[in-house]
Every structure is written in C-alpha cells, then in structure tokens.
Structure 1
Amino acid sequence: MEYIKIRGARQHNLKNVDLDIPKGKLVVLTGVSGSGKSSLAFDTVYAEGQRRYVESLSSYARQFLGIMEKPDVDSIEGLSPAISIDQKTTSHNPRSTVGTVTEIYDYMRLLFARLGHPHCPICGREISHQTLDQIVDQAMNLIEKTVKTDKKAWYLMLSPIVQERKGEFSQLFENLKSKGYRQVRIDGYIHDLSEDLVLIKTNKHTIEAVIDKIAVSSVRGEPFKSELKNRLADSIQQALNLSEGLVLFAQVLDKEFTIPTYPKKFNDHLFSERFACP
C-alpha cells in the first residue's frame, strides 16, 4: 500500500478528517496553532501504530505496558510500526539524529551491514568485491567481445594511484621510475616517465600507472586463451598491488590499430577488490 489512509479522524480538535499520507516520503504537517497538527501526528497516527504494536505482543509482555485506548478515528489503513520523538529538547548534543535519539541507530547499522546489498549511487547496480579470477574473466570477456565486433582490440592495464588530488607528485613519479614503470596516464593523457613532468600544484589530478598494453586481432585456440589469461592475471595482480585493490582496464578507441604511443581516447572499465561499481 502506497498511502496511510485515515478516515474520520476526530481526536481532540480534529473535525472528522479524511487524509491519505504517502508512505516512504518525508511529509511535513503545517498550520496555525490549534489546527490539529499534533492531534493528527501524535495522538492519532502514532497512537494507533503503538496500540497495534502492543496488541501484537504476547499477553505476558502486554501486562507490563498496560492497555492503550484506541484514538477517535473510524479507520487507519496501511499503518507501519511507528516511532515518535516528543516535541521537546531531549539532548543538547548538536550531532544527535533521529536514529541516536530513538536508540535504533546501532541496530539499523548492524542490519544494513550484515543483511544489506550495496548498490552504486550513480547507476543503481549492485556492487561487490571481486576476486582476481573474476576480474580476469571479465577482462577476457571484454577482449573477446571487442574482437568480435571490431576485429581488433587494444587495451591498457592501468593502476589508479592518485584520484582527484592536488599536488605536484614529483616524488611519486620518481618512485614509479625506480620500480621500472615507463608510462603514466595523467588526467586522461599518456606521458613517459622519462619526461620532466611538472604538474600544477593547486589543480586536482588523476594519475594511473601503465602496467601493460594488450593488442589482440583474434582470440583463437585454447593455448592462446590460456596464455592471454595468464598474462592478464599477472598484470591485474600487479595493478591491484600497486593501487591497493583497484585496476582500470582501458579500451583504446583511437582508430589506428598500429598501437599509437600516446592514445587519447579511452573507454575505462574499473574493477576493484574493495567494493566499487564495475
């Protein structure tokens, strides 16, 4: 049921009110003093919700709660269990919320953490942590689909190291060079680490290390697939280790298949061991 349907509410100064309140929405009751706001919210809706909850308890539990009178209303349909916060200052802590004041915050946090299924706030897809084998299989599927449609596939294996952070990162570039890396992608553009890379300190930058370049014109035979999967597994593991759980599998969209040294157009696919939308 999408609404709480109230019919014939006459509690206190309510005059036989009929009202449909949408469920799952934030509803505000406004009006001048004495118009019946509290009579409707607290003395009718909440009182009936509490009364029904008490009636659902065992007779042993009800003896400690007493008998609650039914509000002066003909009927209320679609009513869920109700929680009420008195119209007074119950805490002087400015960080108090409805959850902490009603003492359900810890229970809700436990409920969502143990039983909830996280979803991406942008696309709405359910997300989960991925294992190395799962990432390798998805990368293989991407390559095979690309080869099937475009007769060719070129991908870069990238390790996201810096994401939207300010700085020059000169020490980071030196560390990458000392580890044997030759290229990085900075804000969407490929650069050689042998260059004198100077970034604007006050701007936010995104930096990914180029781990591997994969060019495929056909995927035929199990020996080739097995060799490609092993290569992908090594590159993905290296990327995950460098970025602490993230890897970007970037499809190069430049029209030339001769593997341009500095591609400019990409279609990125993010994979993660740390819960990220794929």
Structure 2
Amino acid sequence: MSEKIIIKGAREHNLKNINIEIPRNKLVVITGLSGSGKSSLAFDTIYAEGQRRYVESLSAYARQFLGLMEKPDVDYIEGLSPAISIEQRTTAKNPRSTVGTVTEIYDYLRLLFSRIGIPYCYNCGKKIERQTVQQIVDNILKLAEGTRIQILAPIVRGRKGEYKEVFVEAKRDGYVRIRVDGETHELENEILLDKQKKHNIEIVVDRLVVNSEVQSRLTDSVETALKLAAGILLVDVVNERELLFSENFACIDCGISFEEPAPRMFSFNTPYGACPTCDGLGTKMEIDPDLIIPDKSL
C-alpha cells in the first residue's frame, strides 16, 4: 500500500484541476477560505472515490443494499482505502457522542477488548491470571491475626429491581443475614427495595476472626461464596476495607483481584466503565477562587 494518497487533475465542483499528495496514517487538516474547495476535495473527491471503490469490490448481492456513489471528476487517485465520512452538522449536542459512537465502531471495539484483550495488573504490570480457592484462602489468612471479616457472595451488582425472590431463596437455603447497598439486614425481617434504583446485594456466607485455626472453615466458606456468586467473592474487613477475589482474574503478587472483562467495562455510559471523576463526560466542573474574587484585598 502506498504511503501517500496521490490525486491528479481533481475538478469536482470548484476545484481547478489540482494535483496533491496527502500522507497516509497521519492527522491531516484541510483549511482555507469559504468556497475554496475544502469539502469538494475531502468529501466529494477523496471520500466519494474511496467509498465507490469499496462498494464495487463487494458482491452483486451486497451492492444492491448500498448506494453506489458517482465517480468524481478526477483524472487519477492512488493509495485510497475504504473511507468513513462524518457529517459536519449535528442535530443535537450530546457530550457522550464520539467518533466511535457516530461511526458505530464503538460497540465492536468494546467486544474486541473484552473478548480477546489480555488484562494486566495496573500496579505491577504483570499478566492477570485466575485464582484457585487455595490461593484466595492464603491471601485472606495474610490478614493480621484477630481481624474480623465477613465472607460475602455478591448476587446482584448495580441492577434495578425489588429482588424479593433473592431474599426468600437465601432464607430458604439457611442464610441468616444479607447485605443490601452496604447495610446488613436480618433475613427474618422484611426487606423492601425501590425497584427504580440500582442495588448491590451480597449474601453473608460467614463471619469469623482470622487466626491459624479457621483455615478449614474459611475454605468451606470461600467455596460456598464462589459457587453462589459465579466465581466472585467479597471479603469485608470490618471497619477497614473490602477485598475482591475472583476465580477468574487476579494478580497473585499484588493480591489484587479483578472482574472478568465484559463489554460494559469499556463503556463510558455505564457506572462500570465510566470515570468516577467525570462520569464518562471527559470534563469536570471546578470553581476557580481567583475568578470569583479577583481582588483579594477587598
């Protein structure tokens, strides 16, 4: 493939038989006065010919569903690839619109990253691997002796609903407590949820104190929680922090577990993929004291 797009004798619309070479794989800006032929060159010549050649390469059956563009008034074009054109005018201003969403390649990129991407630890840079039950137990036992913990099985994560059947089933299976949105409830009491809000629900599988004698009990509880939550386990270190473990992906050296990559992790329109600082918008509102009080002597 040529390293340049070579155009000779372009006469589309108000172009005056121009010859030009444009580098490929570079960000190129076409500027000029109104009516100088910017759109005629970019859209009506380069894009039109690239799209026309692409459509002509398809089968006759596929071509019937696509409109074939007319050949632009040009003597010679070399180095073209299939082209994408984004209209300059928009009907509405949406801060969540990007080149990826407008061209509809964003969803495909999310699938590619989640299905064939290789995760690496953000702390040490090593490849993420799956954890076994024994590795999870060993990591929990590294906590200081006497530490109080809860073994939790995340059943619902960030989904709307009342989940009455979840509470009934958990109680029927012999569990006594359940944590909803960070608050622990007794299952014998009625739990009412707003079905219009998103909730996090974890079954309290076990509560224990870390010491050298709890390994067997801890192993059983870990296996139970992983089975309930499809391979995910949450350890609530009472009054301190929470530890996420997974049979799917984890960095053994750093003791950091990760969820299995999913398309929603690469979406800035969901809480799972959006930046927590800007909520996926890419901008953050802040107050500049110097602008509010320019004269601090007052």
2:227 aligned partner: 241
1:193 aligned partner: 187
Give the Cα–Cα distance (whole angstroms) in 1 for the partners of residues 132 and 148 of structure 2.
21
Q: Deviations over 1:66-100 (max 9, x none)?
A: xxx898xxxxxxxxx96534799xxxxxx994769
The one-letter code of the counterpart of 2:223 is: Q
Name the Cα RMSD after superposition: 5.2
The one-letter code of the counterpart of 2:228 is: L
Q: Where in structure 2 are there 5+ consecutive unaligned residues?
A: 50-75, 88-100, 250-256, 260-298
Query: Relative to structure 1, is the Cα distance of residues 113 and 190 closer, same or farther in structure 2, using a 3 angstrom cutoff?
Result: closer
Give the Cα–Cα distance (whole angstroms) in 2 for the partners of residues 246 and 183 of structure 1.
18
1:205 aligned partner: 199
Query: Relative to structure 1, is the Cα distance of residues 22 and 140 closer, same or farther in structure 2, using a 3 angstrom cutoff?
Result: same
Query: Relative to structure 1, is the Cα distance of residues 187 and 111 closer, same or farther in structure 2, using a 3 angstrom cutoff?
Result: closer
Match of 1:270 among 221, 244, 247: 244
Greater displacement, 155-164 / 194-203: 194-203
The 5-angstrom pairing of residues 52-71 of structure 1 reads none
Q: Where in structure 1 are there 5+ consecutive unaligned residues?
A: 1-5, 48-68, 72-80, 89-94, 254-265
Q: Is the 8 Å Cα contact of residues 117 and 126 (structure 1) preserved in structure 2?
A: no
Q: Is the 8 Å Cα contact of residues 178 and 186 (structure 2) preserved in structure 1?
A: yes
Q: Deviations over 1:166-204 (max 9, x none)?
A: 333222212111101011111101111122223333333
Aligned-residue identity in percent: 30
Q: Is the 8 Å Cα contact of residues 42 and 84 (structure 1) preserved in structure 2?
A: no
Aligned length: 204
Q: Is the 8 Å Cα contact of residues 181 and 201 (structure 2) preserved in structure 1?
A: yes
The one-letter code of the counterpart of 2:238 is: V
The 5-angstrom pairing of residues 1-278 of structure 1 reads 29=30, 31=32, 32-36=34-38, 84-85=83-84, 97=103, 116-118=117-119, 128=128, 130-133=130-133, 136-144=134-142, 146-147=143-144, 152-216=146-210, 218-219=211-212, 224=213, 228=215, 230-253=216-239, 267-273=241-247, 277=258
Query: Relative to structure 1, is the Cα distance of residues 98 and 181 closer, same or farther in structure 2, using a 3 angstrom cutoff?
Result: closer
Q: Is the 8 Å Cα contact of residues 156 and 202 (structure 2) preserved in structure 1?
A: yes
Give the Cα–Cα distance (whole angstroms) in 2 for the partners of residues 42 and 246 of structure 1.
54
Q: Greater helix share, 1 or 2? A: 1
Give the Cα–Cα distance (whole angstroms) in 1 for the partners of residues 181 and 146 of structure 2.
26
Give the Cα–Cα distance (whole angstroms) in 2 for the partners of residues 116 and 242 of structure 1.
27
Query: Relative to structure 1, is the Cα distance of residues 251 and 273 closer, same or farther in structure 2, using a 3 angstrom cutoff?
Result: same
Q: Is the 8 Å Cα contact of residues 31 and 38 (structure 2) preserved in structure 1?
A: no
Query: Relative to structure 1, is the Cα distance of residues 123 and 199 closer, same or farther in structure 2, using a 3 angstrom cutoff?
Result: farther
Greater displacement, 28-37 / 236-245: 28-37
Q: Shift of residue 139 of structure 1?
A: 4.5
SS at match of 2:258: coil
Give the Cα–Cα distance (whole angstroms) in 2 for the partners of residues 39 and 124 of structure 1.
49
Query: Relative to structure 1, is the Cα distance of residues 124 and 33 closer, same or farther in structure 2, using a 3 angstrom cutoff?
Result: farther
TM-score by length of 2: 0.48
Query: Relative to structure 1, is the Cα distance of residues 175 and 29 closer, same or farther in structure 2, using a 3 angstrom cutoff?
Result: farther
The one-letter code of the counterpart of 1:130 is: R
1:78 aligned partner: none
Q: Is the 8 Å Cα contact of residues 151 and 225 (structure 2) preserved in structure 1?
A: yes
Query: Relative to structure 1, is the Cα distance of residues 114 and 171 closer, same or farther in structure 2, using a 3 angstrom cutoff?
Result: closer
Give the Cα–Cα distance (whole angstroms) in 1 for the partners of residues 154 and 112 of structure 2.
32
Q: Shift of residue 243 of structure 1?
A: 1.9
Q: Is the 8 Å Cα contact of residues 159 and 240 (structure 1) preserved in structure 2?
A: yes
TM-score by length of 1: 0.51
